[in-house]
Amino acid sequence: MKKIALADNVYWVGAVDWNIRDFHGYSTYRGTTYNAFLIIDEKVTLIDTVKKPYKSELMHRIHTIIDPKKIDYLVVNHVEMDHSGSLPEVVEAINPEKIICSKMGHKALMQHFHRPDWPFHVVAPGEEISLGTKTLSFLETRMLHWPDSMFTYLKEDQILFTSDAFGEHLATSERFDDEVNQDVLMHEATKYYANILTLYSPLVKKLLAKVQEMQLPIKMLAPDHGVVWRSNPGKIIEAYNRWCNHQGNGRALVIYDTMWESTKKMAKAVAEGLHEQGVEYKLLDLAVNHRSDVMTDVLEASAIVLGSPTLNNGMLPRMADFLMYMRGLRPTNKVGASFGSYGWSGEAVKMMNEILKEMNIVVCHPGVKTQYVPEHAQLGECVELGRTVGK
């Protein structure tokens, strides 16, 4: 097995999951990786582990470099099961001198694995640990995206091991940013931020400012998913800067679901109004677009227009699902509006507008409701709604 080195005596020893297609409700069409890193020094150190079924793959990769029993320190940057599921078996196999984690990491590890006998070493933010010739230090990144999350910095090689941050769900035979298609890479990185980190944007902003203030030289960013940013870490840092500041791209999304095509007709009329205003738009039917793909477009969109007919005094279930999901991620700095057909009660538009307002999205039009099937006049109202959003 070919050894994959990030620097002298620093290796990638993770696992590639080519088959995963659903990551707790996030569609992962391109699979993912669970990255772990091995540092060979006087104190041999493993940074993070992998999801439980991939333990053998991790151990096999370590074996190609060193006897796993020689590992002294095990760093846990993040306790979520995709990185710690194999931990009990790995700890059993390597019997480390120290399990290094943050204060909240210790709490979460105890709550997951209930092993007070493990040799925990809780690090304070900024604490340094010498491995012999190399030095590790630790940066607490609480709530990015779990309370336990931290980054580990390898001083001599200027590598920042960033847990979930700066990652993407992308299974490839390549391990570095300069080896993969850039459009695919940035699409998956955008999707990752949109679906995992949008809610924590204020914390991302603070973290980026803190790293800048610390003037930490960074040659590489090594996340726990996807590729290692060795050639252009600035590219993903610049994107995170844009995303955490909710910069809009000027585009509008018309997100809808339909029963008997009336709301679909209305969606197309809304799009016409947007087009008249010179606004680039996308029509996203929730019957064919997964919530996590729609959310990827939402991240940078400047306007969100929602369409749902009324069913049982509410909106269609796919719209309710999407709004519950989007509301949790709290995208901001957007305008919005709603429309939809109805038979006899017509509550959906009001409900969608209320959710937009709850999310601090500026509702710039009262909304359009059409009883049963829209005719020319009602479609004209939808065009007008589109024009208003476009303006």
Tell me if 365 contacts ligand FEO by CB under 6 A.
no
Does the footprint of ligand FEO cover residue 148 (CB under 6 A)?
Answer: no
Q: Which residue has the tokens 């029509």?
A: 283
CA distance 344 to 310: 9
Total site size for ligand FEO, rule CB under 6 A: 9
- By the 8 A CB rule, do 199 and 6 touch? no
Minimal distance, residue 146 CB to ligand FEO, in Å: 6
Residue 17 engages ligand FEO in binding (rule: CB under 6 A): no
- List binders of ligand FEO among 320-339 (CB under 6 A): none
Residues 256-295 that bind ligand FEO (CB under 6 A): none
- From candidates 17, 148, 157, 164, binder to ligand FEO by CB under 6 A: 164
Phi, psi of 147 (to 5 degrees): -60, -30
Nearer to ligand FEO, 113 or 275 (CB): 113
Helix (H) or strand (E) holding 368, with range, is: strand 368-371
CB 270 within 8 A of CB 242: no
Closer residue to ligand FEO (CB): 82 or 257:
82
Task: Provide the minimum distance between the beta carbon of 163 and ligand FEO in the complex, in angstroms, as a whole number.
Answer: 7
Nearest-10 Cα torsion for 33, 144, 55, 134 = 100
Residues known to be catalytic? 24, 78, 80, 82, 145, 164, 192, 225
**Of 67-86, which residues contact ligand FEO (CB under 6 A)?**
78, 80, 82-83
Q: Measured between alpha carbons, how far is 65 from 54 in angstroms, rounded to an integer?
A: 18
Report the residue number, 83 or 230, with the smaller CB distance to ligand FEO. 83
Q: What is the rounded end-to-end Cα distance, in angstroms, of the chain?
A: 58
Q: Which of 224, 257, 297, 300 binds ligand FEO (CB under 6 A)?
A: 224
Token pair, residue 152, equals 């580990």
> What binding mask, one character per residue, do residues 93-132 give for ligand FEO by CB under 6 A, x or -?
----------------------------------------
Choice between 83 and 318, CB closer to ligand FEO:
83
Q: Extract the tokens encoding 242.
A: 């844009």
In whole angstroms, what is the distance from residue 219 CA to residue 159 CA? 6
The verdict on 225 binding ligand FEO (CB under 6 A) reads yes
User: Should residue 191 be labelled a site residue for ligand FEO when binding is judged by CB under 6 A?
Assistant: no
- Alpha helices (H) along 3-159: 55-63, 81-84, 87-94, 103-113
User: How many CB atoms sit inside 10 A of residue 167's CB?
Assistant: 27
Binding interface with ligand FEO (CB under 6 A): 78, 80, 82-83, 145-146, 164, 224-225
